[in-house]
């Protein structure tokens, strides 16, 4: 149903992806609150509602990329492939929404244009594009971390005579590439998924690569009956694993160091991990993300794989010219990405050496004057991650403080959940939470449950207003920095974890790298100590 309906609610939730759906279920069905969810898309699904680009598929394995709070729901849904594709995830999200009867409390096609905290009434006022105002005690953002498309500001785009698309705002009717000359900008996780699929459909595909990337084969395929039975029978064990590993995935990081084994054994272990495929590759040794020399062994193995797959030595050299440690940027996994460069209709252009200068009416022109003629440009250029979706909500807190101003030098939160000056506002998977370094549904379930428990506890105590202490925020920001600096993650200078992909964005390492399991413990301790670090007012 569209139209938010002005009114007063206990809670307003912005977004109807995994986070918003589960938060609605908890607040409405467990706590009995009145809740309205505002969703700009025409249906549930969040990131998967928008990311319909060719090859769109989750990099988490399907039996861990789902809700696990309900054994019944978990066992009833049957995934068909090792990694769920976008259409299957959408079917799953709609199925959950229907099973939990969520849609009646979600206003679709409803964009939030502003949210203002009114001190006198201690209420949030949320404005929608249609001119409605919703009033709520609790405001919860469930807007995701990767939902604000980053279309690079390249001069001339407005004059391009062909069609152009960003992968995160893909037309629902799809794009027909038949007979088309396509240019794709970007070789992150998205671009790496899209290349082989576009290459198979288009007349010609030119891939514009600024930063070469590692990728490990996903080894996707249909799941057999035996595995599906195993998943149903091992619900508890799978959940225990995902909740106790640092990254929320259903595999355990090996306990051995890179240096515990001989070179030959190491090669055999990498080879086995490569054959098994997927994000598990980074779990081969426990120190890959802490010890640069250890990481180099993985990096060299993966670069050698690129050179062995890609037949043209010059193309192989460009693809393997990777200057960041393995997994210091989000590590992609693929289906025939490097193999696609062996096709006659695919070309790689290095735009690090020779950057894109402008877009002409006919294509893309590089600094040295070369023009690539194109009918379609695909921007797989990522997102204004983590802070982008929050800042565009135009949130204003106490004393007219805009979130944009409060975070002008970078985001500052306590636990990624709350910020000083914004009482009763909770940010699910906000900056300073493990979010993007974790298998998302695992992180989301923990956040939504913590928030629901917190609201229940505050209501019981008669607390009307909650906001973090400035000192608690200072300590948390410092801890987030320490956690990042204990890893190789900040060494990838151009990663979106650091905000480096958006010109002018402050360079702050945003996610919490201390691991989901540790984070869960910290959040539990904070709650057990009566919400230590938060100011609670009656
Ligand atoms: P990413 O990982 O941010 O990748 C974006 C890619 O686009 C990356 O290769 C960028 O190069 C490239 N890019 C961005 N702007 C430009 C310009 N102006 N010129 C050339 N190349 C550019 O986004 P994805 O969508 O792939 O992945 C995001 C997450 O979604 C992913 O990690 C999963 O968690 C799901 P750069 O590296 O900045 O040099």
Please tell me the distance between residue 207's alpha carbon and the centre of ligand 1 in angstroms: 13
pLDDT of residue 169: 96
pLDDT tens figures, 410-445: 999 999 999 999 999 999 999 999 999 999 999 999
Q: How many CB atoms lie within 10 A of CB 169?
A: 13
- Which backbone phi and psi does 256 adopt, to 5 degrees? -90, 150
Please check the confidence at residue 74 and state whether its pLDDT lies above 50. yes
Residue 381 CA to ligand 1 centre (angstroms)? 4
Atom of ligand 1 nearest to the CA of 496: 3
Which ligand 1 atom is the nearest neighbour of the CA of 191? Answer: 26
Judge whether residue 1 has pLDDT over 60: no
**295-329: pLDDT as tens digits:** 999 999 999 999 999 999 999 999 999 999 999 99
pLDDT at 483: 96
Q: What is the pLDDT of residues 248-260, one digit of tens each?
A: 999 999 999 999 9
User: For ligand 1, what atom is nearest to the CA of residue 436?
Assistant: 34
- Ligand 1: distance of its center to the CA of 46 in Å? 19
Q: What residue owns the CA closest to ligand 1's atom 31?
A: 189
83, 256, 281 from 44: Cα distances, Å: 20, 42, 32
Looking from the CA of residue 211, the nearest atom of ligand 1 is 39
Note whether 319 and 212 are within 8 A (CB). yes
Give me the percent of the chain exceeding a pLDDT of 70. Answer: 100
Ligand 1, atom 10: closest residue by C-alpha: 186
Evaluate if pTM is beyond 0.95. yes
Q: Residue with the nearest Cα to atom 20 of ligand 1?
A: 210
Nearest atom in ligand 1 to 500's CA: 38
Backbone angles phi, psi at 262, to 5 degrees: -75, 165
Q: How far is the CA of 429 from the centre of ligand 1 (A)?
A: 20
**Which band of pLDDT confidence, cut at 50, 70 and 90, is reported for residue 494?**
confident
Ligand 1 pocket by C-beta < 6 Å: which residues? Answer: 146, 152, 185-191, 208, 210-211, 330, 351, 356, 380-383, 494, 496, 501
- CA-nearest residue, atom 5 of ligand 1: 381
- Is the confidence at residue 446, as pLDDT, over 60? yes
Nearest CA to ligand 1 atom 17: 152
Q: Which of 154, 156, 186 for a ligand 1 pocket mutation test, highest count of atoms within 8 Å of Cβ?
A: 186
pLDDT of residue 3: 73
| CB within 8 Å of 485: residues ≥ 6 apart | none
**Could you tell me which of 395, 239, 247 has the C-alpha nearest to residue 330?**
247
- Alpha carbon nearest to ligand 1 atom 3, residue: 382
**Mutational test site, ligand 1, from 350, 356, 378, 382, max ligand atoms within 8 Å of CB:** 382
Give the 3-state secondary structure of residue 522. Answer: helix
Q: How many CB atoms lie within 10 A of CB 331?
A: 19
């Amino acid at each position: 149903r569209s139209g938010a309906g002005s009114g007063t609610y206990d809670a307003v939730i912005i977004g109807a992806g995994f986070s918003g759906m589960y938060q609605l279920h908890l607040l409405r069905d467990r706590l009995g609150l009145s809740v309205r969810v505002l969703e700009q898309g025409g249906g549930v699904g969040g990131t998967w509602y928008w990311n319909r680009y060719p090859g769109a598929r989750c990099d988490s394995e399907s039996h861990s990329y789902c809700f696990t709070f309900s054994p019944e729901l978990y066992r009833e849904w049957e995934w068909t492939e090792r990694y769920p594709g976008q259409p299957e995830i959408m079917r799953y999200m709609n199925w959950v929404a229907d099973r939990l009867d969520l849609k009646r409390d979600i206003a679709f096609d409803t964009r939030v244009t502003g949210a203002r905290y009114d001190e006198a009434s201690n209420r949030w006022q949320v404005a929608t594009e249609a001119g409605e105002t919703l009033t709520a005690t609790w405001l919860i953002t469930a807007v995701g971390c990767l939902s604000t498309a980053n279309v690079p500001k390249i001069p001339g785009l407005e004059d391009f005579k062909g069609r152009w698309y960003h992968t995160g705002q893909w037309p629902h009717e799809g794009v027909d590439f038949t007979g088309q000359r396509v240019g794709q900008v970007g070789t992150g996780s998205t671009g790496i998924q899209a290349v082989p699929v576009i290459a198979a459909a288009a007349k010609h595909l030119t891939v514009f690569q600024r930063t070469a990337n590692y990728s490990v084969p996903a080894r996707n395929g249909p799941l057999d009956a035996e595995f599906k039975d195993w998943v149903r029978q091992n619900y508890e064990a799978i959940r225990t694993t995902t909740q106790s590993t640092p990254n929320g995935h259903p595999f355990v990081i090996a306990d051995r160091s890179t240096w515990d084994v001989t070179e030959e054994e190491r090669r055999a272990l990498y080879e086995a991990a490569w054959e098994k495929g997927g994000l598990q590759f980074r779990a081969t040794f426990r120190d890959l993300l802490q010890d640069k020399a250890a990481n180099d062994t993985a990096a060299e193995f993966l670069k050698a794989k690129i050179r062995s797959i890609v037949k043209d030595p010059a193309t192989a050299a460009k693809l393997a010219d990777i200057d960041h440690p393995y997994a210091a940027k989000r590590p992609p996994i693929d289906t025939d990405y490097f193999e696609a460069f062996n096709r006659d209709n695919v070309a790689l252009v290095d735009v690090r050496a020779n950057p894109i200068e402008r877009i002409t009416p006919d294509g893309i022109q590089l600094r040295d004057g070369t023009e690539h003629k194109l009918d379609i440009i695909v921007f797989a250029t990522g997102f204004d991650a983590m802070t982008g979706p929050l800042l565009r909500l135009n949130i204003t807190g106490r004393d007219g403080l805009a979130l944009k101003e409060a975070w002008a030098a970078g985001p500052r939160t306590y636990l990624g959940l709350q910020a000083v000056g914004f009482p009763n506002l909770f940010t699910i998977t906000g900056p300073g939470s493990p979010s993007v370094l974790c298998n998302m549904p695992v992180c989301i379930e923990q956040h939504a449950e913590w928030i629901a428990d917190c609201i229940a506890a505050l209501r019981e105590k008669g607390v009307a207003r909650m906001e973090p202490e400035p000192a608690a925020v200072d300590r948390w920001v410092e801890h987030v920095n320490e956690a990042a600096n204990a890893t190789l993650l900040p060494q990838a200078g151009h990663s979106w974890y650091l905000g480096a992909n958006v010109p002018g964005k402050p360079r702050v390492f945003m996610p919490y790298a201390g691991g989901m399991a540790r984070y869960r413990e910290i959040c539990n301790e904070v709650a057990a100590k009566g919400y230590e670090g938060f100011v609670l007012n009656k």
